[in-house]
Chain A
Amino acid sequence: MLLSIDPNSSAPPFEQVRAQIAALAQAGELPAGTRLPTVRRLAGDLGLAPNTVARSYRELEGDGIIETRGRHGSFVSRNGSANERRALAAAEAYADRLRQLGISTEDGIRFVRAALEGDNRGRG
């Protein structure tokens, strides 16, 4: 799994690193729990200053895409991205509401599927 940096790109190097790691993690190509190279190592490989890579990692951590476990290094977050966490919170709220309304799990899933398919049809 390769990361590339184009010095002629209009995007600054820290953003190129951040965007590529985020895209790979969200596409599942970097599975949760994958250990990322150290800041110093990645900076050396890419010919960047360690601060540049550290900034990318900080932003990825802020977005919930990666997590830093002290001296063990940085890992792709098991909680998914910030958007995934928000979706999970919404799903939990929905499940609570279904229980309050006394609606069965099967019906709840059916409503979600219908809503999502309706959404897809609307977009298509």
Chain B
Amino acid sequence: MMALWWTLLPVAGAAFLLGILRGPGRRERERLLAAFTEGIDLPATAEVVALVDRRIRDRSVGQSAGGLAAVLAFALVLLLSPESVPLGVTGLSTMGIIVAAMAAGGGISALRQFPAPRGPDASRVARLDAPTLDDYVHPAWIWASAIGTVAAVCLAVWLFAGAVPNGPLDGGPSVAGIAALAALSLGGVACAGILSRRLLGIPQPASDERELQWDDGLRAYALRDIWIASIALSSATIVAGSSVTFSATSPGLYFGILIGVAPVVLSTLRASRRPGRRLWRNAGARS
């Protein structure tokens, strides 16, 4: 098993490193761009397409950087504690951590001010009312993150207190490992809150309403990434904890697996139209 991990990790690390150095290929960028623009469903000018393409490329590089960081951290854990090699169901928690790191990398890549699409000399628009997180991300994401974190911490505390119904699995996570994951998910939700505030405070350079609408779409995309990272960390803890708590035939274990897979499903959802519905309700009447 160890040999398999030491084969997988360098391959994954090399793939992520390539992703950082080269960015997504032309066809991949076209696919990502089409998926995003179809999801947002707004008229796009050449400047807007260039802007979205650049930001999606940055997001992809950020995801690769996050993935590489997770692989390196995982390799370090394996070096220091080879008995922590996750087996079976617990392997899903590894996937959760990698999804979390990639999503966090994608979200963090948006934490800088981007240049105005039509250059510094064009006319500019700015909104006078400050949008809130609620305008970009459905509260269900934040609730899912908070509930997942509370569940993860409770599970870790419960296990740490000595309640290990089935005993530690062979090759499964140690209770200390689960506690470390719970601490990570607690840190994850705090970081998601801080990063969301930072992201909402970053200027949105735009020359007209349309560009601002696109920027809102991209901002919602980045904010969702940040909350997916938090959800993925708590789900990794829950899946690791449930593998210790429930027996192989228990429905609880399958519920844990379902939660473990959830972040992967969430990360494939198409771009949200929520900012368009909440911030641009009357845009049609104005334009």
Residues in A lying within 8 Å of B, measured CB to CB: 1-8, 21, 24, 30, 34-37, 41-47
Contacts and interface: CB of A to CB of B under 8 A. Distances in A.
B contact patch SS: loop
Nearest to A48: B124
12 contacts: A2-B127, A4-B123, A5-B123, A5-B125, A7-B122, A21-B128, A30-B128, A41-B201, A41-B203, A46-B124, A47-B116, A47-B120
B205 interface: yes
A1 B129 contact: yes
A21 B202 CA distance: 21
Contact of B124 (A4, A34, A37): A4
Nearest to B208: A4
B123 A6 contact: yes
B205 A34 contact: no
Contact of B113 (A5, A21, A36, A44): A44
Given A2-B209, A5-B123, A44-B203, A24 B113 contact: no
The A interface, classified by DSSP as helix, strand, loop or mixed, is: mixed
Interface of B: 113, 116, 120-130, 201-206, 209, 212
Contacts of B116: 47
Rank and list the top 7 A-B pairs by shortest CB-CB distance, nearest first: A44-B203, A45-B126, A1-B128, A4-B125, A45-B203, A46-B124, A6-B123
Contacts, number: 61
Most buried by A among B124, B128, B130, B202: B128
Contact of A7 (B121, B201, B204): B121
A47 B205 CA distance: 7
Given A41-B203, A44-B113, A34 B121 contact: no
A30 to B, nearest CB: 6
B125 A2 contact: yes
Contacts of B120: 47
Contacts of A24: 128
Contacts of B205: 44-45, 47
Given A41-B201, A44-B113, A47-B116, A2 B123 contact: no
Nearest to A73: B130
A46 B130 CA distance: 14
B127 A5 contact: no
Nearest to A53: B126
A37 B123 contact: no
Given A45-B204, A45-B205, A37 B130 contact: yes
B120 to A, nearest CB: 6
Contacts of A21: 128
A34 B121 CA distance: 30
